[in-house]
Amino acid sequence: MEHTKKDMAEHIKSDMRLLGLLAQSFPNVEAACTEIINLEAILNLPKGTEHFMADIHGEHEAFEHILRNASGNIKRKVKEIYAEELSAQEIRELCTLIYYPEEKLELIEAQEDGVSDTFYSETLVRLIRVCQNICSKYTRSKVRKALPQQFAYIIEELLHERAEDNNKQAYFQCIIDSIIQTRQASNFITAICKVIQHLAIDQMHILGDVWDRGPGAHIIMDALMKYHNFDFTWGNHDALWMGAAAGNDCCICTVLRFCLRFGNMDTLEDGYGINLLPLATLALEAYKDDPCTIFLPSNRYGKLSERQRELIGKMHKAITIIQFKVEQQMINAHPEWVISREGTLEHVNPERGTFSVGGKEYPMRDTLFPTVDWNDPYKLTPEEQDMLAKLNHSFRVSDKLQKHVKCILSHGGMYNICNGNLLFHASIPLNEDGTLKEVELMGKKSSGRELMDRIGMVVRTAFNRDTPQKEKAAARDYLMYLWCGPESPLFDKKRMITFERYFTSDKALIHEEKGAYFRLRNDAKVCDYILDSFGVKGEHRHIINGHVPVHVAEGESPIKAEGRLMVIDGGFSQHYHSTTGIAGYTLVYHSRGFELIQHEPFTSKKDAIQNGSDTRSSIQLVEMTGHRLRVRDTDLGGKLQTQIADLRNLVYAFKHGYLKERK
């Protein structure tokens, strides 16, 4: 026993600095013990619900709807509570109100007959019951923090009373009646609905690719910046936009090309205030006699007139040619990248109207290149140089874009490890035998976790103001490599075939050879090896990816490697719906296990509000645990147990005179 006390005393002495800091928050034995009791209680609450989403690609309405309905989790809760009391139509109406409270109430209150007090009373009681159910896995303190400040006290009273409790029935009903009489019913309904949305998901994981294709990436980022708890794993399209924000001309050209290709002007002009007039002016002058047929944009959202499509087609071609030029200039400046550009401008035979790949000639779909000097095909014209400088400035001074990039830098990285799950967007570079591949980065080779950590530091270097200019420029250049480099974990393909996609109809050329990871990731042993190399522990551990759409229509499964790996890119983007056969996946990890939610196409926000339409979803039970997971079983639980141990040491220090108690 004496030996134990001696060891404890030595341990306390070695931790005096930490304990002194802890004593500032817990100045006496009673305060420390109270916190120990609180933390021990939290450890035994059910695990919070985690929500995983990937490859949203600007589909803001679908994203916001899934965020509001928590991948159908709220509807499931409402059905469990009211299955015997409400009709299917009433449940649908209640759910729509929870998802879109302001808009739905506006429709209801605009009805000719008005809204009765009975409606408000019944709705408030029903919402309180749903909210009580959602709140049941959280401490009162956490719930309190989620409440709107102006109504916090009253909502808290309602949440912790029961309408059916005979002793408090009159008290409960009096609160409801007073809310209605003071004409605050709509405000209270809205507030409670937002609390339900807030607490239905404890933590959101975004696995990359918010930008490109769809029209509302800026709206998605605005929503994330207001979200209570999320982390972000960078994708290749996010790296592209980070590069554009940092002033990388190659990334700027590619960002513009994507937006123009998909007719997505909203994100550029309305979202980020990018001035496209210089590009439009150059395009109209250089390509005035060119129909730019193969560059006409998609009109999937039906917003573009034929005249707009013609202009965008010319702008699309102009920026594409400029992209080929500036990319090759950067590739030439970085021979260490070893990027193959076999099918590019220098391989065009303008007299024959062909280009060559692998020693074979292919006819070109477009042979008009008025801005290319075939003696020096990668040289920009003075007009192109001037226009690109103006675009570069426009991206760098876009306040909203810089804020959004700062957000994903502060909340994100190349990978994340959370509760036994390894999250990364695309791949981990592997050798053909499944071992980690060494990749050179800034003159040093590394692999696996070390490589991902080093990439994360390089990316941040491009935005750190105190970084020497030479290092900052190299980091800014590297953002292009992240987008299209053969050994980039965000690309991991032999080469980018942008040129071939535009200029040939030969499908044999339109194939990107993927790296070893994509061929080996269905092997459970390979996945276990990767998980071990990242130090991921636990009986139920997984790799979770996005990046490559799962072709459900062709029978492909998102669950791979005997359940070790889950690919949750189901094609949120409308561009992929016909390919994948669905409209995206979301993954939910709650206290009883994993559920993969497969979504059908979302019609529109307007339809959801007016007609109560919801995303039709089906659930695949990926893995259910034999017991209900508690906070104790999570990463947070490990941190709380460490805090409890420190607090116990603090109590010992107080009781044995190592520290003096304060009131």
Bridging pattern class, strands 412-413 and 230-233: parallel
Residue 62 domain-assigned (yes or no): yes
C-alpha distances in Å from residue 172, one per residue of 119, 155, 158, 442: 17, 11, 7, 66
C-alpha to C-alpha distance for 478 and 472, rounded to whole angstroms: 10
C-alpha to C-alpha distance for 469 and 280, rounded to whole angstroms: 32
Reading the block at residue 269, the tokens are 């002009």
C-alpha to C-alpha distance for 569 and 556, rounded to whole angstroms: 12
Reading the block at residue 472, the tokens are 């900052």
Instruction: Write down the pLDDT at residue 576.
Output: 60
DSSP one-letter string for 452-507:
HHHHHHHHHHTT-TTS-HHHHHHHHHHHHHHHH-TT-TTT-BS---HHHHHH---T
640 in the same domain as 591: no
pTM equals 0.90
611 in the same domain as 579: yes
Q: What are phi and psi of 475, to 5 degrees?
A: -65, -40
Please list the ranges in the chain whose pLDDT falls under 50.
1-2
Q: Which residues, in sequence order, are CB contacts of 611 under 8 Å at separation 6+?
A: none
Residue 191 domain-assigned (yes or no): yes
Coil, strand or helix: which one is 399?
A: helix
Structural domain count, the chain: 3
150 in the same domain as 255: no
C-alpha to C-alpha distance for 420 and 566, rounded to whole angstroms: 13
384 in the same domain as 268: yes
Q: How far is CA 164 from the centre of its chain?
A: 42
Reading the block at residue 557, the tokens are 């499964």
639 in the same domain as 557: no
Residue 115 domain-assigned (yes or no): yes
132 in the same domain as 203: yes
248 in the same domain as 154: no
Torsion of the alpha carbons at 71, 73, 75 and 78, rounded to the nearest 10 = -170
**Where in the sequence is the domain holding 34, given as residue range(s)?**
2-45+634-655
Q: What are phi and psi of 572, to 5 degrees?
A: -60, -40
Residue 499 domain-assigned (yes or no): no
Domain boundary pick from 367, 400, 433 = 400
The CB density around residue 70, as the number of other CB atoms within 10 Å, is: 25
Residue 333 domain-assigned (yes or no): yes
Reading the block at residue 295, the tokens are 């560059």
DSSP one-letter string for 433-455:
TSSBPPEEETTEEE-HHHHHHHH
295 in the same domain as 172: no
Instruction: Write down the pLDDT at residue 213.
Output: 87
Residue 482 domain-assigned (yes or no): no
C-alpha to C-alpha distance for 46 and 632, rounded to whole angstroms: 9
230 in the same domain as 129: no
Residue 661 domain-assigned (yes or no): no
234 in the same domain as 314: yes
Instruction: Write down the pLDDT at residue 2.
Output: 46
Question: Could you give the angle at the alpha carbon of 515 between the alpha carbons of 512 and 516, nearest 5°?
Answer: 140
Domain boundary pick from 365, 400, 435 = 400
Instruction: Write down the pLDDT at residue 165.
Output: 62
Residue 185 domain-assigned (yes or no): yes
The sign of the torsion formed by the CA atoms of 644, 645, 649, 651 equals: positive
613 in the same domain as 565: yes
164 in the same domain as 303: no
The CB density around residue 328, as the number of other CB atoms within 10 Å, is: 18
